[in-house]
Structure 1
Amino acid sequence: MTKRQKTAANADEKIKQLYETAFPEDEQIPWKDLMRLVEEMPLDFTAYYDVETFIGFTIVYPRKQFNWFWYFAVCEELRSKGYGQQILNQLIERYNGQPFVLDMESTTQVCDNLEERRKRQSFYLRNGFRDTNEFTNQRRTFQNLSCEIFVICQLFTTFAPGK
């Protein structure tokens, strides 16, 4: 698997389509605004390929204390084939043992995509992340829509999945 750094100028339509289908609309920053942030902030925007087949992308916000996963998506038809694990391993190697933090939709909230949420949570827990319980049952509001958040973090200095 290869990775290619992306900018707003070279982010292709496949990345945009995955972004718009992989994340609930209320969790999406409008694409134009997201691309502006990619240009203005120190965001690590990376696309992943198997030869020339687009696999997925990540947007990570590197901070001094931790690396914050903004977005991590694999094409739906390629999920459960080990690509997410490979991408995660590349990120662990790239950030050399620094902590990662991410937020995700609650697995206790009544919703239409509960099974998807549970699979996502299971993926992260299998790969060494842990539930911090720091923000469970808190509310986050984005564009006047509220949702529960679930925070997971991992210190990779003691665990390297798949190695």
Structure 2
Amino acid sequence: MTELSVRPVTEGTSVADFAGELYTEAFDRRMQVPLKSLFKVSALHKADFMAVFDDDIFIGFYYVYLHGDSAFLYYLAVTESMRCRGYGTEILDLIKDTYCPERRIVLCTEAPLVDDKLVSSRYRRLGFYSRNGFIDTLYKFESVGIQYEVLYWGSNWEPENIQEILRSFRRSCGYRR
């Protein structure tokens, strides 16, 4: 592996096509914010929508919403053919280098529920974030019928603040509530 590089994901570009295709494949429809809204918030410099490349090979993308002293990792996806090669960890390291120590990194991930057919993949995802230094706040909440857990990396953080970050993001996207 070489050093990863990032490029902004801008509407109407080939990079946006790569990221958009991965976005629709990687995330449950209930979790997807319209791409137009993601582009809008990024264009307002309230978020970073970044594609990640190894040389010229598209690896994945991340979307970080900036709110006060927090960088909320809204989306992180690696292309299926590039998974299990250490790229997820490299991308998290890149994100940490970009936003810390000025901001802490906060994220939500689906909580593994006993009756969920995806329970093993959700435990793997939690383990991935834990191995990369993220701390489980033990704070859970539900949105669009999905149970989430809140994790963070960096300075101490009150998990109840996640609701304010999510409200702020929705307002930036143009939603009223």
Identity of aligned residues (%): 30
Corresponding residue of 1:6: 9
2-side partners of 1:33 and 1:9: how far apart?
A: 14
Query: What is the Cα-based RMSD across aligned positions, in Å?
Result: 1.8
What whole-Å deviation, never above 9, does each CA across 1:93-115 have from its counterpart, x for those lacking one? 11132211101111125222222
Corresponding residue of 2:132: 127
Conservation of the 8 A alpha-carbon contact between 2:10 and 2:16: no
Tell me the CA shift for residue 116 of structure 1. 1.7
- Residues paired across the two proteins, number: 151
Q: 2:20 is matched with which residue: 9, 16, 19?
A: 16
Structure 1 segment 7-46 matched on structure 2, within 5 A? 7-10=10-13, 11-40=15-44, 42-46=46-50
Tell me the CA shift for residue 32 of structure 1. 2.8
**Which runs of at least 4 in structure 1 moved beyond 3 Å after TM superposition?**
none
TM-score normalised by the chain length of structure 2: 0.78
Give the aligned residue type for 1:40.
L
Residue 114 to residue 156, structure 1, CA distance change in 2 (3 Å): same
**Which stretches in structure 2 are left out of the alignment for 5+ residues?**
157-177
Structure with bigger helix share is 2
Any idea what SS the aligned residue of 2:6 has? strand
Corresponding residue of 1:90: 94
Structure 1 segment 1-163 matched on structure 2, within 5 A? 1-10=4-13, 11-40=15-44, 42-97=46-101, 98-134=103-139, 136=140, 138-141=141-144, 146-155=145-154
